Amino acid sequence: MNWTEFQNIFKDCRLEGEKIVINSDLLKTIEFIKTNYHFEMLKEIIASDNGDGNVELTYRLFSLEDEEDLLISINVQDEAESISSIFESAVADEKEIFDLFGVKFIGNPELKRLYMPEYWKGHPLRKDYKEDDERLNWNE
Amino acid sequence: MNVIVTSIDYILNWSRANSLWPLTFATSCCGIEMMQTVASNNDIARFGSEVFRGSPRQADLLICAGTITHKMAPALLRLYEQMPEPKYVIAMGACTCGGGMFADTSYSVIKGIDKIIPVDIYLPMCPPKPESLLDAIRKLQKEIRKESILERKKFTNKHTSNLTESCGLLTDEFNVTKLGVLEN
């Protein structure tokens, strides 16, 4: 993709290695990249908690034409935009991230727990997660 | 009276010990070793356990082969309760005996299935070799041959009361999830 052309349209972004870091307008950016640069496949969404209260979401897009990957990363707090209207396969990934990191994706049609039981309290992959549920004392 | 009970015991125990039908319950890597035990190299059929059943209603023995998580626990409890008496449990692998390598740090793993269901034979190691599973089955058979129908009834009564005490949460939560009611 043409980086200078992209930066002229989205001024609020920078390049970190091979990763494009944006600060806002996630939905718009991904839709633009999908339509203009033919990255028509979402490989995965990576989430990581760096310990400063933010969760870093990294979207790995794939271009079938050029056979190359593109990483787009954004720092969010507790809420993020859902990209399930652009990539349907994002629904399951966002469910998993909601379950383990507690990021609420606005616009995701079925946002509920995927791996943990539905009675579970908290989101276990957060750095500030503490296991202090009294109902689970039988497992000590 | 005792003479009659003893001879009934002898026949019952002989038939029970030599036709232990296990339930197919492999939840992780120990299941691979269990499959190997069934295959011709180790041939579990020599000890009368070759008939792996898909339904708990036809099984006598629950070989719990693999890690049990919080989400799997209600299913395990339900399968155990669906098995008809007499029923036996082998806890296969370190995870089912006491949590294994997940015991200290994991948030999702049950630290030993004996917190949920009564266990007859513990078989540690990660994972146990097929020979060990055969050994566990032989040891269970030895235990079964010593049993009496009078004692068996006491054992089951004791464990039924224990189960309802410790697993109130599990069964409640299971009902909650079944109804589709969401907390949080």
The ipTM (two decimal places) reads 0.75
* Structural domain boundaries in chain A: 3-129
CATH hierarchy code of domain A3-129: 3.30.460.80
Query: How far is residue A78 CA from its own chain's centroid?
Result: 12
Is some CB atom of chain A closer than 8 A to the CB atom of B105?
no
B100 with B126: CB under 8 angstroms? yes
A78 with A123: CB under 8 angstroms? no
Reported as a pLDDT band with limits 50, 70 and 90, residue A93 is very high
Q: Domains in chain B, start-ordered, CATH in brackets? A: 2-179 (3.40.50.12280)
Angle at B69 between CA A137 and CA A119, to 5 degrees: 60
In the beta sheet, which residues pair with residue B92? B65, B123
Least CB–CB distance from A138: residue in B107, B169, B182: B169
Asked whether the beta carbons of residue B111 and residue A139 sit closer than 8 angstroms, the reply is yes
For residues A47-65, average pLDDT:
90
State yes or no: pLDDT of A20 exceeds 50: yes
Alpha-carbon span B162 to B158, nearest angstrom = 6
The 3-state DSSP composition of chain B as helix, strand, coil percent (nearest 5) reads 55, 10, 35
Predicted confidence at residue B90, as pLDDT, reads 92
Nearest to A62 by CA among A87, A82, A26: A87
In chain A the first and final C-alpha atoms are separated, in Å, by 54
Is some CB atom of chain A closer than 8 A to the CB atom of B111?
yes
For residues A32-44, average pLDDT:
89
